[in-house]
Structure 1
Amino acid sequence: MSETGDRPAMPRGKTRFRSEVVDFWRFIRHPHPAARLPGRAAASGLVADWWPGISPGRLLAWAALLWALNLFALGPVAVAAAGLGGVTHRLDPANIPWLTAVIWAPLVEELLFRYGLRRPKQALWLIPAMLPVVLWGPKVWTGLLLAAFVILACWGVRQRAEPLKAWDTTWRRYYLRHFGLVFHLVALTFAAVHLTNFVYAKTPYWLLPLLVLPQWLTGLVLGWMRVRRGIGAAMLLHSAFNAGPILMIWLIMRWAPTAAG
């Protein structure tokens, strides 16, 4: 059982991708730290939370859906807003930090933004503790610090004989009652942080939300994945999602540098 208190477990078995999309749509309308998706581990909290429990095909299906929605729907809106506001991206296509995007960012951002959705007590210490890791980026000492935080987080969800002992039920009920607000604020905050990826030139403030619409949608899906499958699955999806555009940019730079320019 998670700290947030799960609803009764769903029947075990595999789900179709279409059923998961429907579940996601229902979830974001009425977020709740509900039971895991069918087929998820029913072992200790550590196994259920960190073991991804998702097939490569299903992982790529979710990544492909996000790529398609961002490429054909939200991406053009963000590009148009950038053009209107004179905004440029900080990323240098010729020098892409792919290790940071595919490994570091998914691990750090999922721990910072979405780990606490099902572990609110741990979030009270983990979020402020992660600030040095976020501010100083990937370095040897921040990597060691991050590894220590992961170990502490895993230790905190080890299986216990009395998992709810000393739990403040009043605080727990309050969190459950406001979980929907917390979930959507986390997605908005995740999107807002990505505004730092741009360089601005007297850009109107009302254009700023349009620039990070893709990150907002991605944050919603990653939040659903974290709650319904676990933090391990959310990290893997985040990594796969980041890898797609990086691979596309690399291929363009390699095979069509004139088009990239």
Structure 2
Amino acid sequence: MTVSALLNRPAGLPTMGQEIVDFLRFIVRPKPGPRLGAHRMGQGARVDFSLNAPWWRLVHWAVLLWMVNIFVFAPLALSAAEASGAQHRLDIHNLPWLTALIWAPIVEELTFRFALRRPVMLLWFVPIMAMIMVQGVGPVPILLAGVALLLALAPQWYPAGYRWQAAWVTPWRWRRRVRRLYPLLFHVVALTFAAVHLYNFRHTSINLVLMSLLVLPQWVTGLVLGWIRVKRGIGASMALHAIFNGGPLLLIGLVLHFAPQLAAY
């Protein structure tokens, strides 16, 4: 019996420690590959939208993010909120389950991280998804998001000789340029993802330093989600995003159900 079998870990799946080391190396010098070895790896939408890792490994990453945010970054964000008078928009008596578990993981990942392995999508898909994201949950945005995604994925189903290369295959010259600028692209995406979450707060005026501290947890989470997207696929980053959002909401929901008096504090 192999060590992987004893640990109930699929052969080829890196340990959590190895993944953490890979993540730290990656954010120092981001590059659009290669993927981590485990489960189905390769090209195509089916692989890209698969988890490409056991579900419990994504839970491990979610737990790690919760711990880091709770004990390191959340105190800084709370201090910044107190100093600036900013208040979170979350209504604990009307928890946004649909937005947090489905809409945000899908739409935000497609907007911010889909292009990290498909840079040509920066030209048209990302702007469309950004406009859809701003509109919020609704029948029309959901329909538009579905149509945009189908258009983005359609060329892979065409016969090879009839594919619209500009939509699916990035020209080699542009690939080299993107690769040179990739570290900047990756970190701009993470910072933009964090900046968008300033909308979660009500504030009148706040300086740049306090604004940065308010969204430190989202910035770190965005770095991990970006790494997961590149190394595992967009399906894995969507799943981790949903798990990460769901944990705090579940905790709040349990507190409201079993100890509602705590909600007054």
Structure 1 and Structure 2 fold alike (TM over 0.5): yes
Matches within 5 A, 1:105-254: 105-158=104-157, 161=160, 167-254=170-257
**TM-aligned CA distance change 1:212 to 1:54, over 3 Å:** same
SS at match of 1:38: coil
| Structure 1: gaps of 5 or more residues | 1-11
Report the number of matched residues. 250
Match of 2:4 in 1: none
Deviation (angstroms), 1:63 = 0.4
One-letter amino acid matched to 1:15: P
Q: Deviations over 1:207-250 (max 9, x none)?
A: 10000000000000000000000000000000000000101111
**TM-aligned CA distance change 1:157 to 1:124, over 3 Å:** farther
CA contact (8 A) 2:49 2:236 kept: yes
Q: Deviations over 1:171-207 (max 9, x none)?
A: 2111000100100010000000000110114333321
Identity %: 47
Deviation (angstroms), 1:17 = 1.1
SS at match of 1:32: coil
Deviation (angstroms), 1:96 = 1.0
Q: Distance in 2 between matches of 1:42 and 1:248?
A: 34
Q: Distance in 1 between matches of 2:30 and 2:12?
A: 23
Q: Which runs of 4+ in 1 moved over 3 A?
A: 156-167
CA contact (8 A) 1:45 1:159 kept: no
**TM-aligned CA distance change 1:90 to 1:41, over 3 Å:** same
Q: Deviations over 1:80-118 (max 9, x none)?
A: 110111110111110111111110001000000000011
SS at match of 2:113: helix
Q: Distance in 1 between matches of 2:176 and 2:203?
A: 43
**TM-aligned CA distance change 1:33 to 1:157, over 3 Å:** farther
| Structure 2: gaps of 5 or more residues | 1-10
**TM-score, reference length from structure 2:** 0.88
**TM-score, reference length from structure 1:** 0.90
One-letter amino acid matched to 1:24: F
Pick aligned residue for 1:257 from 251, 257, 260: 260
More displaced 10-residue stretch of structure 1: 168-177 or 21-30: 168-177
CA RMSD of aligned residues (A): 2.0
Q: Distance in 1 between matches of 2:112 and 2:27?
A: 16
